[in-house]
Each structure stands twice: as C-alpha cells, then as structure tokens.
Amino acid sequence: MSGRLVHIGSAVVDYVYRIDALPAPGTEKTASSYAQVAGGGFNMMVAATRTGMTVVFGGQLGSGPNGDFLRAAFAAEEIGTLTAPSPHMDSGNCVAMISSDAERTFVSWPGAESVLNLDMMAPVSVAPGDWVFTSGYTLSYPGSRDALADWIEALPENIPFVFDPTPVVSDIPRPILSRVLACSAWLSCNMAEAAEIAGQGDVETLAARLLADHCPRAAGVVIRSAAKGCHVRLADGSARTIAGFKVDAVDTNGAGDTHIGAFVSALARGAHPFEAARYANAAAAISVTRHGGSSAPTDTEIQTFLTQAAATGTPGQNQKAHQTA
C-alpha cells in the first residue's frame, strides 16, 4: 500500500462506564465496569492502521496525563505524531456511558485538541499517495476551525481529502462547513448528518443532493445506516446500497469510525468504492461485537469474516444496485 493516512483531527481520553440503563434525573447508577481508553479520532486511525495503512497524526495532543496516555496508545498502534505537544493544555476527555442495548451517551470536555493554528500545523506535510482526513469535531471548535479550513483549502488537488461531519455538524458554522465540503474527495456520514447538511429526503435523494449541491469535487459520498449497511453514490451517477451484516452487538461505540478507517484503507489500496464499502461494513460489524471504541479488526479478520459470510449467504451479500442519471 502506498501513501499514508494523515489524520488532522482530535484525539481524547474516553472514560467508559457500562450501565444497564441511563439513570433517571436526580438518581444514581453503579456501573458494572469502567475503563480508560484512547478515543475520538484514535478509533478511526486504529481501523486504518490495523487494515494495513500507515497512519500519522497531525492534530494537537496535550502535555499532561491525558496527553501522555494518548501518546502511549498511539505508540502501541505504531501511529506517528507530527506536531509537538501543547505547552499550555492537556488533552480533553469524554465520559461515555454504554447501556445494555449497546447504545452510548457522551459528555465531553475539550482540551488541547480544540486549539489548532497554522504555526502548530507547520510540521504537517503531505506527499503524493497520501490521504487526508478530518472530522466535524475539530471544525466545531472555535479555536481550530478557521486554521483547519485554510489548511484543507491549500491541499494539493492530487491529495484526496476525506471528511466525516460527525454528530456535531450543526455546531460548525455554515461558511466553514461549505468550504470543507467543497474540498472533499469523499464524504462519509450517517442519515441525520446528511439531512443536516442537505435537508430532508430518502437516502438516494440525500446522496445525490450532497454530491450535486455540496461536494462538487467529490468522487463519491457514503451514507452509513448502522446495522443496515451503507449507501454509496459516485460522481458518475452510479449508486449502490451495500447491506450490512447481522451480528450480536455489545458495544456500538466507534463503529462509524471503524467504518470510515476501513473504507479509506481499502480505497487506498485500489479497491472499487462499492467493494470498499462492503469491506467497511464487515469491519464495523466485527467491531460492535467487541467492547471498546478502538475495537477495529485486522485485515485478516475482515477477510475471514467475508469468506464465512459468502459461504453461508449472510446478509451483506445481497446488494441493491441501480444506475441513476
């Protein structure tokens, strides 16, 4: 595989509590387990590196215990860091409550990852074959959004830029969001995020509208629908809904990040986008059967899963395809 994934996003420390259900207002719950793990953009980077892509981080880490924890996690996954630690702030954190139905609720506190300027990003360079990624979280921070948008707009045209708007898309000022979408080679989002950008409609309508009205330079868009799979529309008008895989989910935290990381990794080694989406569906399906946000599988695990699915006719083989103008 040539090139790298250059991740210009935010990584935080997740404090994960497992509970049977969210507590009612004014009441207290005792968690069945607790863990401190690397989270945020780390989950997407892990998915890319475990599926064979070289990954480097060009965002900002802190200089306190959270930053030290993240640097150790990066080193364990062989993810390089391109920027110096913030001398003023520690990295932020996120409290994640995972309920018995595998859903999650978050409360976050921004840190060094929320402050990014062009001087900090000076060591971050790209080369032919590289892919660049950022998420809506970094663009939602007042202390980083302008510099990051400027940096993205200055990327060479031959460097594919991938964007995930994330659930905080409504917190991104529309002018900033429009600038970043206009630079995107690939947009990956869920239905709610797609509707926030392009208005209401079914998945086919939203995908077409995202390409026509918001992402004029994009090769395609991916709209993820959790266990149902994803819908992919390409700039040439071809579109396909790639069915998901039925699994017993125990933790959906990080599934979207896993999907994007695996999708980009597959594209980078030359897979057709529809095949890359099926590969990403499998990666996400495996990840939700494991606890932890950075539960992405390896390429070998994904290939084994796909082989078994093909042998048994598991959903994910049944794909709805159509050609549109």
Could you report the per-residue pLDDT of 216-243, keeping only the tens digit for each?
999 999 999 988 999 999 999 999 999 9
Residues 69, 71, 72, 77, Cα dihedral to 10°: 130
| 172-225 pLDDT tens trace | 999 999 999 999 999 999 999 999 999 999 999 999 999 999 999 999 999 999
* Radius of gyration over every alpha carbon of the chain, rounded to an integer in angstroms: 19
Of the CA atoms within 13 Å of residue 268, those in its CB half-sphere come to 30
Residue percentage of the chain with pLDDT more than 70: 95
Share of the chain above pLDDT 90, in %: 82
- Indicate whether 143 pLDDT > 80: yes
Q: In this predicted structure, what is the pLDDT of residue 104?
A: 76
Q: Give me the pLDDT at residue 98, please.
A: 85
Tokens describing residue 252? 């959906």
Q: How wide is the angle at C-alpha 48 spanned by C-alphas 45 and 53, nearest 5°?
A: 115
Instruction: Compute the distance between CA of residue 297 and CA of residue 282 in angstroms, rounded to an integer.
Output: 9
Beta bridge partners of 11: 40
260 with 269: CB under 8 angstroms?
Answer: no
Position 293 scores a pLDDT of 61
Concatenate the DSSP letters of all residues of 106-165 into one string. Answer: EEEE--GGG---TTTTTT----TT-EEEEEHHHHHSTTTHHHHHHHHHTS-TTS-EEEE-
Instruction: Flag whether pLDDT at 318 surpasses 80.
Output: no
CA 145/CA 177 separation, integer angstroms: 9
pLDDT average, residue stretch 7-14: 94
Q: Is residue 251 very low, low, confident or very high in pLDDT (cuts 50, 70, 90)?
A: confident
pLDDT in tens, 40-96: 899 999 999 999 999 999 999 999 999 999 999 999 999 999 999 999 999 999 998
Residue 312, number of CB atoms within 10 A of its CB: 8
| pLDDT confidence of residue 291 | 80
Structure confidence at residue 322 as a pLDDT band (50, 70, 90): very low
Alpha-carbon distance values, 262 to 172, 269, 323 (Å): 26, 11, 25
Cα–Cα distance, 266 to 276 (Å, whole number) = 5
pLDDT at 64: 95
State the chain's mean pLDDT as an integer.
92
What contacts 139, CB < 8 A, 6 or more positions away?
145, 148, 149, 172, 176, 177, 180
Q: Is 308 a residue whose pLDDT tops 80?
A: yes
pLDDT of residue 226: 84
Q: What is the pLDDT of residues 273-299, one digit of tens each?
A: 999 999 999 999 999 998 876 789 999
- Residue 318: both structure tokens together: 């049944």
The separation between the first and the last C-alpha atoms of the chain, rounded to the nearest angstrom, is 33
Task: Spell out the residues 6+ positions from residue 102 whose beta carbon is closer than 8 angstroms to its own.
Answer: 249, 250, 251, 252, 288
Question: Which pLDDT does position 317 carry in this prediction?
Answer: 42
